[in-house]
A = this chain, B = another copy of it.
Amino acid sequence: MASDSIKVFCPATVANVSCGFDVLGLALDTVGDEMTLTKTNSGEVRITEILGQDLPLEADKNVAGVAVKALLEKGGFKNGIDIKIDKRIKPGSGIGSSAASSAGAVWAVNHLLGTPFDTLDLVRFAMEGEKLASGAAHADNVAPALYGGFTLVRSYDPLDIIKIDAPAELHATVIHPQIQVKTADSRNILKQSISLKDGIKQWGNLGGLIAGLYTQDYALIGRSLEDHIVEPLRAILIPQFQEVKQAVLEAGALGSGISGSGPSIFALSEGTENAEKVAEAMYQVYSKTGIEFDIHRSPINPSGVKIL
C-alpha cells in the first residue's frame, strides 16, 4: 500500500547563472525547504503549518497551495492534501524560495497519487505558484528544483526544458545579504531592448557554458560566466557586489554573478576546497558591512526534489 504521507527536500536554486537570463538555472543540494504532504479525505488543499517564516496559510495565497490545486484540477483528482512547510529558504533571497515550495509540493503530490504526471507537467503546475509569487509564470527556478542539475528553458511556447548534468566537482557558493530587493523592482530596472552587440556576447557565452557542462571543462564554464545584459543594471542594487565578485575570483572561483534577481550573489568553483575559499572570501567582504548575511556552500544537486 502506498503511503498517504511523504516528506520531501525541496532545493534552493540559482536562476540566470550570469549568461542565461530567464532561461538557465541550477539546483543546490545543501539548502532547501522540507515539506510534509499528506493525502486526506477532506477534499481540500490545506496549509496546516509553516515553520520558519511568516507566510500565508490560506491555500489560494500560498504558492504551494496554488501549484497543488493546479495539479489536482488538471488531473481531475478530488483528493484533499494537507501541506506542512518547514521554510528554510528565506523569501526574497533570490535563490528560489517560492519555487522550492511550489516544486516540492507538486512533486510530492504527484508521488502520492502514483506519478500520473511527468516532470514537464510538474514544471507547468509549479509555474502557477511562481505566477502568484512574482506575477509572471517563470520556469527558471522551478525547472532546476524539479530536474536537478542545470536546466535550460529553450522555449516557453511550447514549454521545452533540457536538463544538463553538472560536472561532479562543480560547487556553488551563495551569499544572501539580508536586504530587501523585490523581484518586481529588479525587473523594472531592466531595459526592454539591448544592443545586438551585447546580445551576440550573451549567446556566445550561453553556448560556451552549455558546452563546458557537457565536456566537463571547468575553465570554459568559468570563461562563459559573463553577463553583459542584466548584471550591469542590477549590480547597483546589491551592496558590495563588485567587491564580492573580485574577492571570489581572486579566491579561485570559476565565475560569479547575481543569483536570480538578487540580492544573493553566487559563485561556481571546482572542488570542495575552492568552494570553501570562496565562502571565506565572501565572508571577509560582508562581515565588514554590518549587513546580516547567510552563506551557503553546495555541490550541484543532481536530481531535484527528493524524499527524505
Contacts and interface: CB of A to CB of B under 8 A. Distances in A.
B23 A200 contact: yes
Nearest to A23: B204
A154 interface: yes
A207 B209 CA distance: 9
Interface stretch (A49-57, A187-195, A271-279): A187-195
A118 interface: no
A233 to B, nearest CB: 11
A211 B209 CA distance: 10
B162 A203 contact: no
Interface in A203-226: 203-211, 214-215, 220, 223-224
A65 interface: no
A162 B209 CA distance: 11
Contact of A193 (B19, B196, B211): B196
Contact of A204 (B153, B196, B197): B153
A197 B24 CA distance: 15
A152 B206 CA distance: 10
A208 B22 contact: no
A199 interface: yes
Given A208-B154, A211-B164, A199 B202 contact: yes
Contacts of A41: none
Contacts of A152: 204, 207-208, 211
B207 A206 contact: yes
A20 interface: yes
A155 interface: yes
A229 B196 contact: yes
A201 interface: yes
A205 B206 CA distance: 10
A229 B199 contact: yes
A194 B199 contact: yes
A43 to B, nearest CB: 40
A117 interface: no
A21 interface: yes
23 contacts: A19-B203, A21-B200, A23-B200, A153-B204, A154-B205, A154-B208, A155-B204, A155-B223, A162-B220, A164-B211, A190-B196, A192-B195, A193-B194, A194-B196, A194-B199, A199-B199, A203-B203, A206-B206, A206-B207, A207-B209, A210-B210, A210-B214, A211-B214
Given A194-B196, A206-B206, 9 more contacts: A22-B204, A23-B203, A152-B211, A154-B204, A160-B208, A160-B223, A194-B199, A199-B229, A203-B206
